[in-house]
Copies of this chain bind each other. A is one copy, B any other.
Amino acid sequence: MKVSIAVDAMGGDDSPLKVLKGIDLFLQKEKNVKFFIFGNQDLINPIIKNFPLVSTSSTIIHTYDRISDNLSPLEAVKNGKNSSMWLALSALSEKQADVALSAGNTGALLVMSRLLLKTIAGVDKPALASLWPTFKGLTVVLDLGANIECGVKNLVDFCKLGSALFFSIFKKNNPKVALLNVGSEESKGSEILKKTLNELKEKKNFFEFSGFIEGNNIKDGNVDVVVTDGFSGNIALKTAEGTAKYITSLVKDRFLKTFYSKLIYLLSFKIFKSLKNDLDPRKYNGGIFLGLTSPVVKSHGGTDYIGFYYSIKLCYDIINGNLQTQLEKNFKG
């Protein structure tokens, strides 16, 4: 069976070009996939002519409407029923595709997904997850902003959602799951976190519960899944982004400062290239909206075609890893 991906071709900067180039790059490496591309044919067709691989592996569903970034989720839903985003999600809800992908307006995508796709039995609130590079590999972190306020039940659900995602990609049994907190001692944190801790300690789960984890230890990679509410998760994600940008800019500035430092920079070109590759945020591009009957992947709006390629790869990996089967199993257990 081919993996089938419904793509909103009109979301984010420089679309549909980056979307189509990303699809082409993916098809060069993996043939076992077909695409439903939603968007403006007047813009798509002239580009796609130059990408024969994309032409033969995809169906274009034309619409002039697109969801712009400055639209509120409410406006988007109200006026966007013929948009490329809505249509891509509709195709998913009708099981014409296995997963939907968009680089567009995050708020609109989350609200439309919830409207068009049912939640899995047992899940109250779906969550947005992504993979963070650590000293030891990749760690799933959620929720990254779908739910600003979360109760005990939500956080327990997120543990199940996140561990299913981790298992589907890495096939490691009993992934280690921890709750993000201001300290690792059991006395620390809000009442909700303390209650969640107690609930998780008592239950036998598909995952191994590792208690509380602090923000500075996420990057250690000693746990596979880090769970938090959407507010803190979003703050953590973006603060990490800002810090990474700050440090890499500082390093770059320093090496481009004098004639001597520029010379050193040239001599260490290969080292910097490999560093840049390791720290390339495009490689980890893609948030996964978990807990619905089908997964929806959100690409960063500002990424380029290589970043978009990685979000396609993420779609492919979770479908190949039977994410939905694993999710349903976690919520039945």
CB of B240 within 8 A of CB of A187, answer no
| Range for the number of chain A residues in contact with chain B | 35 or more
Least CB distance from A22 to B in Å reads: 23
B72, B134, B145, B271: the one contacting A261 at CB < 8 Å is B271
Mask of A237-260 contacts with B, CB within 8 angstroms, 1/0: 111111111111111001100000
Q: Which residues of B contact A72 (CB under 8 A)?
A: 187
A189 CA / B189 CA spacing, docked (Å): 20
Which residue of A135, A231, A275 has the most chain B CB atoms within 10 A of its CB atom? A231
> Given A135-B246, A243-B243, A243-B244, does the pair A238, B216 have CB atoms closer than 8 Å?
yes
Least CB distance from A13 to B in Å reads: 16
- The answer to whether the Cβ of A230 comes within 8 Å of any Cβ in the partner chain is yes
Q: Which residues of B contact A249 (CB under 8 A)?
A: 135
Least CB distance from A150 to B in Å reads: 11
- The answer to whether the Cβ of A190 comes within 8 Å of any Cβ in the partner chain is yes
Closest to A263 in B: B267
Which residue of A145, A214, A216 has the most chain B CB atoms within 10 A of its CB atom? A216
A239 CA / B218 CA spacing, docked (Å): 7
- The answer to whether the Cβ of A274 comes within 8 Å of any Cβ in the partner chain is yes
Q: Which residues of B contact A232 (CB under 8 A)?
A: 231-232, 235
A148 CA / B189 CA spacing, docked (Å): 7
B134, B145, B235, B274: the one contacting A228 at CB < 8 Å is B235
- Residues of A at the B interface (CB closer than 8 Å) are 72, 134-135, 145, 148-149, 180, 182, 187, 189-190, 214-220, 228, 230-232, 234-251, 254-255, 261, 264, 267-268, 271, 274-275, 278-279
Closest 5 CB pairs of A and B: A215-B238, A215-B239, A216-B242, A216-B238, A182-B234
